[in-house]
Amino acid sequence: MKFIIHNTDKASSARAGTLETGHGKVETPIFMPVGTAANVKAVHVRDLRDDVKAQIILGNTYHLYLRPGTDIIHRAGGLHKFIGWDRPMLTDSGGYQVYSLTEIRKLKEEGVTFQSHIDGSRHEFTPENVMDIQRLIGADIIMAFDECTPYPCDYDYAKNSMGVTHRWLKRCFDQFKATEPLYGHEQALFPIVQGSTYRDLRVASAEAISSFGAEGNAIGGLSVGEPHEMMYEMTELVCGILPKDRPRYLMGVGTPANILESIALGVDMFDCVMPTRNARNGMIFTKNGFMNMLNNKWKDDYSVLDVEGTSFVDQQYTKAYVRHLFKAKELLGGMIASLHNLAFYLWLVGEAREQIKAGTFSSWKDAMVKKVTTRL
Amino acid sequence: MKFIIHNTDKASSARAGTLETGHGKVETPIFMPVGTAANVKAVHVRDLRDDVKAQIILGNTYHLYLRPGTDIIHRAGGLHKFIGWDRPMLTDSGGYQVYSLTEIRKLKEEGVTFQSHIDGSRHEFTPENVMDIQRLIGADIIMAFDECTPYPCDYDYAKNSMGVTHRWLKRCFDQFKATEPLYGHEQALFPIVQGSTYRDLRVASAEAISSFGAEGNAIGGLSVGEPHEMMYEMTELVCGILPKDRPRYLMGVGTPANILESIALGVDMFDCVMPTRNARNGMIFTKNGFMNMLNNKWKDDYSVLDVEGTSFVDQQYTKAYVRHLFKAKELLGGMIASLHNLAFYLWLVGEAREQIKAGTFSSWKDAMVKKVTTRL
């Protein structure tokens, strides 16, 4: 995998780059739509490609391992073929899901045993088998198996957990190096910085993670309930330590404003369920602010959904119509809002890239953060 | 409205025609996707037009009247503009929904009072206000307000109900003639034959309905639980009486085989929720038979959904993938199956038309009925 930085912003740490993978290029900064269970919810692959213009999407090891299972994905020829998506993909390791979705789990030095949230069946994830599973899934970028600490988290727990994550990382890399990709394209393993909201732990973790010389590095354990300012503080601290010449991925972030602020701190890659999950609840993000489509305000508004939007839905449907669909609980409402929000997120990071290249990112970012946080 | 019959089948009563409306032509026989609440569930308008190739879609007076309400639709400039659909539309009168969806209702000679299934609010439908509502909605074809009898239905109830339907029809036509279309295109009013499963009542009703000289005629009160053979018997009987030079619409029908058999009996127009409702439950109709996508059989089948299918989804997705989506209860499963099934229904009636024109309909129909009723 190759990462080229084309431009860096003078007034911030933002950069515009290109990530080259076995399934083509990704222009950074980039937002990755989340395709948890082998699909981006309520969005056709065709529209993800041609309308949203997604460059890379996410899959989830925990979900895919449980359903449809690695045997099905392997026999399909890997996740790309199973989904019908020929652009880059990333899978997260399942660490986060084991802690957020399973009720009965036990963490030991060896790994984690847990019960499936689907049928209660018992399973074990170890750094080794999570690498093997991600080989079988076959994403271009795979993630180390870590423990994602909750917020708040006491210092001793965070420190011990970080230690486990670092020891697991060594085992992940050992297994990764001992195995081969299965589908004829390269895979890159990204380690994950942990350390909760403690500066000394984040520094220690960022240094430990950097020492592995990985092709890219991720920041985990943020956007789990802590104040935004604390998230930015940790992100800035960690970005200052992680290698400058490798892509930095801030996991699970976030709102449009979160993304813009984090780009300014030096982050290159993002993922979040927000544009699709909030879409299904009637929330529309635009460059001028966000709208709750269930609001009475839109009842009689026959203007198009987003006159400046880049998705076909923006000109196809009116606000009054989309409001009706949400009021009537019609699936089409969530389908429209999902396409719109994803297209907006992709537009936002694409425009950030253009502004970085033009040397105008910081002032644009400040103005845009004000706009996108406005309730319409 | 103009209806031209181009060809009639020698071995059956099937005909190929063209219906000209203020929103363009409809080639018959035709299937009309059902857009109950101002949308065909889980299908974008763009895909309905370009992928499914729907020529005319249905709206529902009962649902639209309750939500979003005629004021919203009127201010949008009518249902075509509200939905963003510029091809022909038909609205049914709400008679069927009043009987199937509302628990508390009271039928009098004047009309029906009922409570909304959404919020329990009280409303009244009369032949007159149902015409007014359908003027406000603005479909190209609107339906008379009738009572749809259930199956089974005792003779006296069916006879009395038919009498009400006929008297209401006179009032519908009076109100229809006393009012004007609101959006600059013509509207045609279709009356509905009732009479349950009693031959003498069906004859009497078909004769009464024919006497109105309407631009098209519908057959109601079938496909409500009676055996298929009884439905065909009634349809044949009624088609023999309804004017030959006007389109005949069999309401709420049905399976692919039902449609083919009814085309042979002289029916030109169909609507049914089956292709979309069953789609959301995992059923896929194809020219070689039907599939339950939840079946284990498809778990490992990496062939495309329908190699002969005409929708983009047919080549985009595999059976194993679509099965996974249904097993995981992902919305995309229903979206895929809805597009596929609607495209198949439109293909089926289009192919029936081609076979009628080629003089090969009857033998093709017999072979096709065997195929489409096969469980794959």
Which one of A38, A327, A328 has the shortest CB-CB distance to B324? A38
Mean pLDDT, rounded, for A241-259 = 98
Predicted confidence (pLDDT) at residue B199 exceeds the cutoff of 90:
yes
Task: Quote ipTM for the complex.
Answer: 0.97
Task: State the average pLDDT for chain A.
Answer: 97
Predicted confidence (pLDDT) at residue B103 exceeds the cutoff of 80:
no
CB B177 within 8 A of CB B135: no
pLDDT tier for residue A95 given thresholds of 50, 70 and 90? confident
Q: How far is A316 from chain B (nearest CA, A)?
A: 7
Contact across the interface for A84 and B317, Cβ inside 8 Å: yes
Instruction: Please provide the distance, in angstroms rounded to a whole number, between the alpha carbons at the two ends of chain A.
Output: 42
Contact across the interface for B42 and A332, Cβ inside 8 Å: yes
B200 annotated active-site: no
Residue A190: beta bridge partners? Answer: A143
Contact across the interface for A313 and B44, Cβ inside 8 Å: yes
Mean pLDDT, rounded, for A270-283 = 98
Contact across the interface for A320 and B82, Cβ inside 8 Å: yes
Predicted confidence (pLDDT) at residue B178 exceeds the cutoff of 90:
yes
Which one of A39, A67, A76 has the shortest CB-CB distance to B302? A76
Which one of B83, B313, B328 has the shortest CB-CB distance to A67? B328
Predicted confidence (pLDDT) at residue B360 exceeds the cutoff of 80:
yes
Residue B299: per-residue pLDDT:
97
Run of H or E residues at A343: helix A331-358
Residue B341: per-residue pLDDT:
98
Contact across the interface for A335 and B335, Cβ inside 8 Å: yes
Point out the least confidently predicted range of A199-203, B94-98, B117-121, B291-295: B94-98
Which one of A317, A327, A335 has the shortest CB-CB distance to B84? A317
Give B318's contacts in chain A (Cβ within 8 Å): 76, 82, 84
Residue A100: per-residue pLDDT:
84
Predicted confidence (pLDDT) at residue B95 exceeds the cutoff of 90:
no
Cα gap B98→B94, rounded to integer Å: 6
Mean pLDDT, rounded, for B159-172 = 98
Chain A residues touching chain B at CB-CB below 8 Å? 37-39, 41-46, 67-68, 72, 75-77, 81-84, 299-300, 302, 312-313, 316-318, 320-321, 324-325, 327-328, 330-332, 334-336
Give A37's contacts in chain B (Cβ within 8 Å): 324, 328, 330
Give B38's contacts in chain A (Cβ within 8 Å): 321, 324-325, 328
Contact across the interface for B46 and A312, Cβ inside 8 Å: yes
Contact across the interface for B43 and A299, Cβ inside 8 Å: no
Which one of A42, A320, A330 has the shortest CB-CB distance to B41? A330
Mean pLDDT, rounded, for B150-162 = 96
Residue B102: per-residue pLDDT:
78
CB B302 within 8 A of CB B319: yes
pLDDT digits (tens, 9 = 90+) for B105-120: 899 999 999 999 999 9
Give A312's contacts in chain B (Cβ within 8 Å): 46
Residue B67: per-residue pLDDT:
97
Which one of A43, A46, A335 has the shortest CB-CB distance to B42? A335
Which residue of B304, B305, B331 to mutate against A (max A Cβ within 10 Å)?
B331
Q: State if pTM tops 0.95.
A: yes
Give A46's contacts in chain B (Cβ within 8 Å): 312, 316
Structure tokens at A193: 């910085």
Give B296's contacts in chain A (Cβ within 8 Å): none
Give B324's contacts in chain A (Cβ within 8 Å): 37-38, 67-68, 72, 82
Cα gap A124→A11, rounded to integer Å: 47
Neighbours of A155 (CB within 10 A): 12
Q: Where are the alpha helices (DSSP H) in chain B?
A: 45-50, 61-66, 70-76, 79-83, 95-101, 127-137, 155-178, 199-210, 228-239, 256-264, 274-280, 312-316, 319-327, 331-358, 361-372
pLDDT digits (tens, 9 = 90+) for B11-35: 999 999 999 999 999 999 999 999 9
Cα gap B323→A185, rounded to integer Å: 27
Give A325's contacts in chain B (Cβ within 8 Å): 38-39
pLDDT tier for residue B104 given thresholds of 50, 70 and 90? confident
Q: How far is A227 from chain B (nearest CA, A)?
A: 32
Q: How many CA atoms lie within 13 A of B235 on its CB side?
A: 31
Q: How far is B316 from chain A (nearest CA, A)?
A: 7
Give B331's contacts in chain A (Cβ within 8 Å): 41-42, 331, 334-335
Which one of B38, B300, B334 has the shortest CB-CB distance to A72? B300
CB A75 within 8 A of CB A124: no
The greatest distance separating any two alpha carbons of chain B, rounded to the nearest whole angstrom, comes to: 62
Cα gap B255→B31, rounded to integer Å: 11
Which one of B44, B84, B300 has the shortest CB-CB distance to A335? B44
Predicted confidence (pLDDT) at residue B333 exceeds the cutoff of 90:
yes
Please give the radius of gyration of chain A, using alpha carbons only, rounded to the nearest integer. Answer: 20
Contact across the interface for A335 and B336, Cβ inside 8 Å: no
A298 DSSP assignment: G
Q: Is A151 exposed, middle or buried (0-12, 13-18, 19+ CB in 10 A)?
A: middle
pLDDT digits (tens, 9 = 90+) for A214-228: 999 999 999 999 999
Contact across the interface for A41 and B331, Cβ inside 8 Å: yes
Structure tokens at B185: 């295109």
Please report where in the chains the tokens 């309730």 appear, as a residue: A375
Contacts of B48 (CB under 8 A, 6+ apart): B33, B40, B54, B57, B85, B342
pLDDT tier for residue A62 given thresholds of 50, 70 and 90? very high
pLDDT digits (tens, 9 = 90+) for B33-65: 999 999 999 999 999 999 999 999 999 999 999
Mean pLDDT, rounded, for B122-151 = 97
User: Scanning every residue of chain A, which has its alpha carbon at the shortest distance from the alpha carbon of B323?
Assistant: A68
Residue B98: per-residue pLDDT:
87
pLDDT digits (tens, 9 = 90+) for A154-177: 999 999 999 999 999 999 999 999
Q: Is A49 exposed, middle or buried (0-12, 13-18, 19+ CB in 10 A)?
A: middle
Cα gap B341→A325, rounded to integer Å: 22
User: Could you tell me how many CB contacts below 8 A there are between chain A and chain B?
Assistant: 116
Q: How far is A336 from chain B (nearest CA, A)?
A: 8
| Three-state SS at B93 | coil
Torsion, Cα A44 A49 A55 A60, to 10 degrees, reads: 20
Contact across the interface for A42 and B332, Cβ inside 8 Å: yes
Distances in whole angstroms, Cα of residue A362 to Cα of each of A250, A367, B11: 19, 9, 76
Mean pLDDT, rounded, for B152-172 = 97
Beta strand pairing status for A192-193 and A217-219? parallel
Predicted confidence (pLDDT) at residue A103 exceeds the cutoff of 80:
no
Residue B45: per-residue pLDDT:
97
Contact across the interface for A68 and B320, Cβ inside 8 Å: yes
Residue A98: per-residue pLDDT:
87
Mean pLDDT, rounded, for B263-280 = 98
Residue A101: per-residue pLDDT:
84
Mean pLDDT, rounded, for A356-371 = 98
Residue A155: per-residue pLDDT:
98
Q: How far is A84 from chain B (nearest CA, A)?
A: 7
Distances in whole angstroms, Cα of residue B81 to Cα of each of A89, B77, B85, B87, B159: 40, 6, 7, 11, 40
Residue B100: per-residue pLDDT:
84
Predicted confidence (pLDDT) at residue B294 exceeds the cutoff of 90:
yes
Give B320's contacts in chain A (Cβ within 8 Å): 68, 72, 76, 82
Nearest to A252 by CA among A209, A222, A285: A222
Mean pLDDT, rounded, for A119-129 = 95
Read out DSSP for A248-291? EEETT--SHHHHHHHHHTT--EEE-SHHHHHHHTTEEEETTEEE
